[in-house]
């Protein structure tokens, strides 16, 4: 039986691999191992580790590796701390394959630890472009990985152009779409349960509302506060109730958090309700209902296309990533954001566009991992 170890470092990390974890756990020829680390073990980011356990996955190890500060220095040091701790965990768990997600700093630590220990590395969501340091990390991990699970056709072709062997690249789709497919037809939202969490205004979800999900751009460190202020001021001018999510822990997170706190002090009668974290089933249902999602989260690009959510993508964080007609790209300026939202309000919901898969990626990933896999050595051609 093959042991498959997944390292989870954030809420986005978890939602991006959850369906694959479930498929691996249920596969008769695979044994699932789960390691939680970075922001996934911290309450200030929503205690994702607790959610993981509630979903039926028992972590085999927990690693505290996130250094406070949310600066380029602490992000680099957090990567180093993860690299220091993960080899010990891998030596104890002895996985046959480590599966890592996307492009975050804990993903890089996971990658280096696995490949230096001659453990097969599987990588999901490789091959995509975004124009920031995340893209560089993502492509670097592709060159380290032995098995590739891109989420869209554009990424699949790019991985092949990077020189990876075709038999190692499997265009399975994005595992997050599996959850979207399941939750779109699930029960309605309990508003009392929703608004009992977080802080801020309560409102009727049957009325039009906005969502805001904005994270720091690591290559624009120091600009986060002014960037989130522009988005919040746009929401204020639009005059609609809104749900806003706290940023991820990348460098510059504290700048965005500071901008949010200042906004709450300035607009005490604001119609915004702020959340540290939202369970994926609630997030999907809210995306299905919202009049428009504002910010720079990849969920607007990925889930937004699958659901048909109108999205205003702000700034450079998702630059050049494959997207659907539901996305309007704007700069970090209030007026640009307001005008784009109003354009979406006139248009309404979009048709579903399965750019990032049909909602069955997890099963495909488990099937590949249970089948024949390439040898650890990589053949590089020039």
DSSP assignments along 122-133, one per residue: EEESTT---SSH
Asked if residue 298 and residue 164 are part of one domain, the reply reads: no
Tokens 């699958």 map to which residue? Answer: 306
Tokens in use for 170? 């499997």
Q: Which residues, including other chains, have CB under 8 Å from residue 249's CB and lie 6 or more apart?
A: 10, 38, 39, 42, 45, 66, 70
Asked if residue 361 and residue 327 are part of one domain, the reply reads: no
- pTM to 2 decimals? 0.83
Alpha-carbon distance of 313 to 292, in angstroms, equals 10
| Residue 239 near residue 280, CB atoms below 8 Å | no
Note the pLDDT of residue 374: 56
Note the pLDDT of residue 80: 94
Asked if residue 169 and residue 193 are part of one domain, the reply reads: no
Q: Is residue 378 situated within a structural domain?
A: no
Domain of residue 214 covers: 189-347
pLDDT digits (tens, 9 = 90+) for 140-180: 999 999 999 999 999 999 999 999 999 999 999 999 999 99
Asked if residue 79 and residue 108 are part of one domain, the reply reads: yes
17, burial (CB in 10 Å: exposed 0-12, middle 13-18, buried 19+): buried
Asked if residue 138 and residue 41 are part of one domain, the reply reads: yes
Backbone CA torsion sign across 15, 17, 20, 24:
negative
Torsions phi, psi of 129, nearest 5? Answer: -115, 150
Residue 131's CATH number: 3.40.50.2000
Q: Is residue 62 situated within a structural domain?
A: yes
Note the pLDDT of residue 193: 76
Alpha-carbon distance of 112 to 96, in angstroms, equals 15
Alpha-carbon distance of 295 to 261, in angstroms, equals 17
Asked if residue 197 and residue 97 are part of one domain, the reply reads: no
**What's the full length of the chain, in residues?**
382
Q: Is residue 379 situated within a structural domain?
A: no
- For the chain, helix (H) and strand (E) counts, in that order, are 15, 13
Paired sense of beta strands 199-200 and 272-275, if any: antiparallel
DSSP assignments along 230-297, one per residue: HHHHHHHHHT--EEEEPP-SSTTHHHHHHHHHHHHHH-TT-SEEEES---HHHHHHHHHH-SEEEES-
Q: Is residue 256 situated within a structural domain?
A: yes
Asked if residue 261 and residue 114 are part of one domain, the reply reads: no
Q: Is residue 179 situated within a structural domain?
A: no
If one counts the domains in the chain, the total is 2
Q: Is residue 146 situated within a structural domain?
A: yes
Asked if residue 147 and residue 40 are part of one domain, the reply reads: yes
DSSP assignments along 218-236, one per residue: GGGTT-HHHHHHHHHHHHH
Backbone CA torsion sign across 320, 321, 325, 328:
negative
| Residue 121 near residue 98, CB atoms below 8 Å | yes
| Residue 168 near residue 148, CB atoms below 8 Å | yes
Question: In 193-276, which ranges are E strands?
Answer: 199-200, 210-213, 242-245, 272-275
| Residue 170 near residue 10, CB atoms below 8 Å | no
Asked if residue 194 and residue 169 are part of one domain, the reply reads: no
Q: Is residue 196 situated within a structural domain?
A: yes
Q: Is residue 352 situated within a structural domain?
A: no
Asked if residue 206 and residue 114 are part of one domain, the reply reads: no
Alpha-carbon distance of 71 to 61, in angstroms, equals 26
Asked if residue 211 and residue 89 are part of one domain, the reply reads: no
Asked if residue 279 and residue 155 are part of one domain, the reply reads: no
For the chain, 382 residues long, give each residue's pLDDT as a single digit of tens.
999 999 999 888 898 999 999 999 999 999 999 999 988 888 777 678 888 999 999 999 999 998 988 788 998 999 999 999 999 999 999 999 999 998 888 899 999 999 999 999 999 999 998 877 888 999 999 999 999 999 999 999 999 999 999 999 999 999 999 999 999 887 778 887 789 888 999 999 999 999 999 999 988 999 999 999 999 999 999 999 999 999 987 889 999 999 999 999 998 888 999 998 888 889 999 999 999 999 999 999 999 999 999 999 999 988 888 899 999 999 999 999 999 999 999 998 899 999 999 999 999 999 999 996 655 555 444 3
């Amino acid at each position: 039986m093959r042991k498959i170890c997944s390292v989870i470092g954030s809420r986005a990390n978890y939602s991006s691999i959850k369906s694959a974890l479930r498929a691996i756990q249920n596969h008769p020829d695979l044994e699932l191992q789960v390691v939680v680390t970075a922001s996934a073990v911290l309450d200030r980011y929503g205690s994702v580790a607790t959610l993981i356990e509630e979903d039926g996955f028992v972590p085999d190890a927990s690693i505290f590796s996130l250094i406070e500060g949310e600066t380029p220095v602490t992000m680099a040091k957090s990567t180093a701390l993860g690299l220091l701790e993960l080899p010990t965990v891998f030596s104890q768990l002895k996985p046959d394959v480590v599966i890592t997600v996307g492009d975050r700093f804990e993903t890089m630590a996971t990658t280096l630890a696995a490949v230096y220990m001659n453990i097969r590395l599987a990588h999901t969501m490789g091959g995509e472009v975004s124009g920031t340091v995340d893209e560089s990390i993502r492509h670097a991990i592709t060159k380290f990985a032995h098995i590739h699970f891109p989420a869209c056709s554009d990424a699949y072709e790019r991985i092949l152009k990077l020189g990876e062997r075709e038999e190692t690249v499997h265009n399975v789709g994005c595992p997050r779409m599996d959850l979207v497919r399941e939750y779109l037809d699930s029960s309605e939202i309990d508003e009392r349960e929703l608004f009992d969490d977080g802080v801020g205004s309560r409102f009727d979800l049957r009325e039009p509302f906005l969502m805001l999900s904005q994270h720091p751009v690591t290559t624009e460190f120091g600009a986060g506060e002014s960037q989130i202020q522009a988005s919040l001021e746009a929401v204020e001018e639009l005059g609609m109730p809104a749900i806003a999510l706290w940023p991820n822990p990348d460098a510059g997170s504290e700048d965005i958090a500071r901008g949010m706190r200042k906004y709450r002090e300035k607009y005490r009668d604001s119609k915004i309700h702020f959340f540290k974290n939202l369970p994926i089933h609630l997030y999907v249902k809210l995306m299905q209902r919202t009049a428009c999602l504002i910010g720079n989260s990849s969920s607007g690009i990925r889930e937004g296309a699958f659901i048909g959510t109108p999205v205003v993508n702000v700034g450079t964080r998702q630059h050049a990533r494959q997207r659907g007609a539901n996305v309007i790209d704007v700069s970090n300026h209030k007026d640009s954001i307001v005008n784009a939202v109003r354009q979406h309000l006139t248009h309404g919901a979009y048709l579903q566009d399965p750019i990032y898969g049909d909602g069955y990626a997890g099963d495909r990933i488990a099937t590949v991992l249970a089948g024949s896999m390439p040898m650890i050595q990589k053949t590089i051609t020039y």
